[in-house]
A and B are shown apart, each in its own frame.
Chain A
């Protein structure tokens, strides 16, 4: 158990809908990263927050957004969902945001868009 929690574990929804994925980092970790894992794209970086502020954006669609709250938990919002958004979404946390930091991953949320 990495200490990173994600809810829900599974999410099934329809095209055009909006969902929110939640991540709680390990105690004391200030950084939260979001990644998407799909069969065709592999594991891809979406976005990074550090202590409440957005630090970097990767291959994140405009329909997706995220935020990190004062208690350091983070939410990833996915809207106008398409079939291709079906994937496993991971969050990872690290103590700070340094390049030598280890990122610890949560169990993921499996999103299925029908």
Chain B
């Protein structure tokens, strides 16, 4: 079965420092991976996705993610954190298991709370 793990419940970073939010995945077949961010009392906002191709994926708000097949990881990164980046971050993988193949809903990790201090 498809799954994602976010090993850190919380990540604390000082403003201006680089940040990394970790995600590892387990899939059968091709991994289709996504990152979303949730601000308080808001819905999930799409940041970026990996489908195929370049292992470094660039997304919204200066975020990027590095796909590593050998380590089955898809870590979210940003070179310089902002206080406004403080939010809950979710990694997700497409789950085709209900569909017998292609398509699929998303399976989410438990989320990582990012706190950026001034």
Would you call A108 an interface residue if the criterion is a C-beta within 8 Å of the partner chain's C-beta atoms? yes
Asked if residues B103 and A102 are in contact (CB atoms below 8 Å), the reply is: no
Would you call A2 an interface residue if the criterion is a C-beta within 8 Å of the partner chain's C-beta atoms? yes
Name the contact of A99 in the complex, choosing from B42, B90, B102, B107 (C-beta under 8 A): B102
* Contacting residues, chain A, for B46 (C-beta < 8 A): 2, 102-105
Chain A residues numbered 17-58 whose CB sits less than 8 Å from any CB in chain B = 33, 35, 42-43, 45, 48, 55-58
**What's the interface size class on B, roughly?**
20 to 34
Q: Which 10 A-B pairs give the minimum distances between C-beta atoms?
A: A56-B98, A45-B105, A43-B108, A105-B44, A107-B43, A105-B43, A97-B103, A100-B51, A99-B94, A42-B110
Interface residues of A (CB under 8 A from B): 2, 4, 6, 33, 35, 42-43, 45, 48, 55-58, 90, 92, 97-100, 102-108
